A and B are shown apart, each in its own frame.
Chain A
Amino acid sequence: MSYALSRLEHLYLQVETTYGQIPNTTGTATVANANACRFIKFVGDTRAALIDRPDKTGTRSLMVGVLGRKQGAWSTDMSIAPNGVAGTAPDMDPLMQMLFGQAGSATSGSATITAATNATPIVVTAANTFANGDVVFISGATGNTAVNGVWCLTAVSGTGFTLVGSAGNGAWVSGGTASRVAYKYTLSDSIVSASLWSFRQPSTIDQRVALGSVVSEATFQLGQDVAQCSFNGEALWTLSSNQFSVADVIQQGGLTAFPTEPSAPVTNGGMIAGFTGKIAVNGNGVATIRTATVRCQTTNVLVKDTFGSYYPTSAEADARRISVQFSIYEDDSATFQNLLTIAHSKTPVQIPLFLGTVSGSIFGLVLNNVQIAAPTREEARRYSGNFPESVAHGSSLTTRDELTAWFI
Chain B
Amino acid sequence: MKKYIFVGAVSHVAGLEYNAVGQSADFSDEYFVEALAGGASFLPEDRFAHHFEGFPPEQLAQYSDPYFFGVPSSDYTARVEACRDEVRALRAELCKVV
Give me the interface of A with B, judged by CB distance under 8 Å.
32-36, 38, 83-85, 87-91, 106, 140, 263-270, 360-361
Contacts and interface: CB of A to CB of B under 8 A. Distances in A.
B87 A85 contact: yes
Contact of B39 (A89, A106, A361): A89
Contact of A268 (B12, B31, B88): B12
A82 B78 CA distance: 21
B54 interface: no
Interface stretch (B3-11, B43-51, B56-64): B3-11
Residue from the set B10, B13, B39 with the largest chain A CB neighbour count within 10 Å: B39
B41 A85 contact: yes
B1 to A, nearest CB: 13
Interface residues of B, number: 24
Contact of A84 (B11, B13, B34, B97): B11
Contacts of B97: 34-35
B70 interface: no
Contacts of A84: 8-11
A87 B74 CA distance: 20
Interface in B14-54: 14-15, 31, 34-35, 37-41
A266 B34 contact: yes
Given A91-B38, A269-B11, 9 more contacts: A32-B37, A83-B8, A84-B8, A88-B91, A265-B12, A265-B38, A266-B34, A266-B35, A268-B40
B15 to A, nearest CB: 7
Residue from the set B11, B31, B37 with the largest chain A CB neighbour count within 10 Å: B11
A279 to B, nearest CB: 24
26 contacts: A32-B37, A33-B14, A34-B34, A34-B35, A34-B95, A34-B97, A35-B38, A83-B8, A83-B39, A84-B8, A84-B9, A85-B8, A88-B88, A89-B39, A106-B88, A264-B15, A265-B14, A266-B40, A267-B11, A268-B39, A268-B40, A269-B9, A269-B10, A269-B11, A270-B10, A360-B9
Which 8 pairs from chain A and chain B are nearest by CB? A84-B9, A266-B38, A264-B14, A34-B38, A34-B37, A268-B39, A270-B10, A268-B11
Contact of A85 (B38, B84, B98): B84
Contacts of B41: 85, 88
Interface in B57-97: 74, 84, 87-88, 91, 95, 97
Given A84-B10, A85-B84, A360-B9, A268 B38 contact: yes
Nearest to B34: A33
A276 to B, nearest CB: 14
Contacts of A89: 39, 98
